[in-house]
Amino acid sequence: MANTSEKLVRGPRLILLITLGICLFCIGGLFTYEVLPRYIVFSFPLPSDDYNVSQWNFPTYSTRRNYEERYFVWRAESTLVYEGIPDDKSRRSILDYFDHQFLEHGWIRTEDIYAPCSHIMSEANFLKYMEDVSENGYVEYTRTGYEQCSYCWANESVCLAIWNTSPGVFSIVVLSAKPSPLTIFLDGIDL
């Protein structure tokens, strides 16, 4: 009689343990998927300048938290020098070069001034969105064919900042931001 009651209790316990094991495995997998970084990295060369600078300085990989959002950020910077060329013409040629390079890699410039660059890129603290090439500023790129929703902040984006440190000398920063899977999920259900 005792064996029968033990068998009746063992069956639900076994099912409960298997279910709990599957749940823990899934949670562990999701946690691993969330914390392992996935960066958007670009490897195209810089535009030619008067000194033929050919490589990016200080490429960095980081994770950036912004409130409940989490982004995987790749960033590179460089300095370009154009002596004897007006700054707005130099800035235009730099911007045209990057527009072309990003378009070849599947990214197009967006006009959304409230996009993620404004709160992910530290240069946005002293630069404004570039509406005119005669001024220092930054622009943002999104994937070609991507419909960016107006209520979503968690979008993949690429930021390009261009500013003069002195006449003919330009600082360039390229930053890519990829939201974590949990950030995308939470942004999607927060309608």
Instruction: List beta partners, residue 114.
Output: none
pLDDT above 70 coverage of the chain, percent: 83
Burial class (CB in 10 A: 0-12, 13-18, 19+), 146: middle
Q: Give the pLDDT confidence of 63-105 residue by residue, as tens digits.
A: 877 777 788 899 999 988 888 888 888 889 999 999 999 999 9
d(CA 151, CA 169): 38
According to the model, what pLDDT value does residue 4 have?
60
pLDDT at 188: 64
Q: What is the pTM of this model?
A: 0.78
DSSP state of 123: G
Three-state secondary-structure class, residue 48: coil
**Residue closest to 45 by CA, chosen among 112, 3, 101, 107:** 101
At 100 the pLDDT is 95
**In the prediction, which pLDDT does 14 show?**
81
Confidence at residue 168, expressed as pLDDT on a 0 to 100 scale: 87
Q: Which residues of 84-120 are buried (b: 16+ CB within 10 A; e: fewer)?
A: eeebeebbebbbebbbebbeeeebebbebeebbbbbb
**How high is the pLDDT of residue 7?**
59
pLDDT of residue 148: 58
Which pLDDT score is estimated for 191? 47
Mean pLDDT, 10 residues at a time, the chain of 191 residues: 59 82 81 78 86 79 78 90 85 92 92 73 89 86 72 76 89 89 68 47
What per-residue confidence (pLDDT) applies to 132?
80
Q: Write out the two tokens for 2.
A: 């005792």
What is the predicted pLDDT for the residue at 45?
Answer: 87
